[in-house]
Chains A and B, each alone.
Chain A
Amino acid sequence: AQKITQTQPGMFVQEKEAVTLDCTYDTSDPSYGLFWYKQPSSGEMIFLIYQGSYDQQNATEGRYSLNFQKARKSANLVISASQLGDSAMYFCAMSYSGGYQKVTFGTGTKLQVIP
C-alpha cells in the first residue's frame, strides 16, 4: 500500500540557517508524484514544490529544493536561509496513478524558526 512517512514531528532551526525535512515513501507504482505543502498557523495549505518519479533532476523553487533519492524512496525538503515566516507545518504528499489520482499525505513536521 502507498504510504508517506515523516519521522520528525517537530524541528527547530536558527534564522538564516538551512534545514532538511525528511520524507520517505512507499509505493509499488512506477509512476508517481511527490509534493510538499506548507500550512502556516492561519490554516491554509500552500503548494511548495513538486517532483515526478521520472524526473532526472531534483526540483528547486526559490529557497526550496527537493532532495529526491529514488533508490532510497526519500524526498526530503531542503529550505535554505530560513526565515521567521517559514515557521509552519510541512506536509509531504504523494500522488499515484493506476488510472486515477490518489493522494496520500504524511503526518507533517512542525518547523519553528528561531530568531
Chain B
Amino acid sequence: DTAVSQTPKYLVTQMGNDKSIKCEQNLGHDTMYWYKQDSKKFLKIMFSYNNKELIINETVPNRFSPKSPDKAHLNLHINSLELGDSAVYFCASSQGLGQQASEQYFGPGTRLTVT
C-alpha cells in the first residue's frame, strides 16, 4: 500500500549513459514533482506536472526530460549523464494547486551515482 513509489532505489552508471527513473503514486493526487537533493542536502524542485501537464520547469538542463503518461505516473529520463548529476532524486505528489495545495508525499528517493 505504498503511497509514492520510485524505481530503482539505487542507480550506478557511467558518464554518457542514458537512464530513467520511474515514479508512481496511488493517492489519487493530481500534481506530481521531481526534486534533486544534492550532497549538501539541498532540495531543489526540477519539474511539476498537474493532470499530466507540465506546469513547472525550473532551470534544468534539457538532458532531463520528464514524462507523465497519466496522472499517477511521472517518469524522469536523463540523457548523457554527467558526474554532477549524482544526487538523490525524489518524486512527490500533492492534491490541488497553489496555496490550497496539500502537503506533498515523497517517494523513498533514488540515489543516482555517476562514475
Which residues on A are within 8 Å of B, measured CB to CB? 29, 31-33, 35, 37, 39, 43-47, 50, 52-54, 89, 91, 93, 95-105, 107-108
Is there an interface contact between B50 and A100, defined as CB atoms closer than 8 Å? Answer: yes
Chain B residue, CB-CB nearest to A54:
B99
A37 to B100 CA separation, bound complex (whole angstroms)? 18
Within the complex, the shortest CB–CB distance from A77 to chain B, in Å, comes to 14
A35 contacts across to B, CB distance below 8 A: 103-104
Within the complex, the shortest CB–CB distance from B57 to chain A, in Å, comes to 11
* Contact between A44 and B97, CB atoms less than 8 A apart: no
| Count class of interface residues, chain B | 20 to 34
Binding site for A on B (CB under 8 A): 31, 33, 40-45, 48, 50, 55-56, 88, 90, 92, 94, 96-106, 108-109, 111
Docked Cα-Cα span, A93 to B103, in Å, equals: 10
Q: Give the CA-CA distance A27 to B109 in the complex, in Å.
A: 29
Which of A29, A45, A54 makes the CB contact (< 8 A) with B106?
A45
- Residue of chain B at shortest CB distance from A89: B41
A106 CB, nearest partner CB in chain B, Å: 9
Whether A96 lies near B108 (C-beta < 8 A) is no
A103 to B98, CA, bound (A): 9
Do B103 and A52 have beta carbons less than 8 Å apart? no
B99 touches A95 (CB 8 A): yes
| Structural contact, A101 and B103, CB atoms closer than 8 A | no
Tell me whether B106 and A44 are in contact (CB under 8 A). Answer: yes
* 3 tightest Cβ-Cβ pairs between the two chains A and B: A97-B98, A45-B106, A31-B99
- Chain A residue with Cβ nearest B44: A105
B55, closest chain A residue (CB): A100
Say which residue of B41, B45, B100, B105 sits within 8 Å of A103 (CB atoms). B45
From known contacts A101-B94, A105-B44, infer whether A43 and B99 are also in contact, taking CB-CB under 8 Å.
no
Q: How far is the CA of A52 from the CA of B103 in the complex (A)?
A: 11
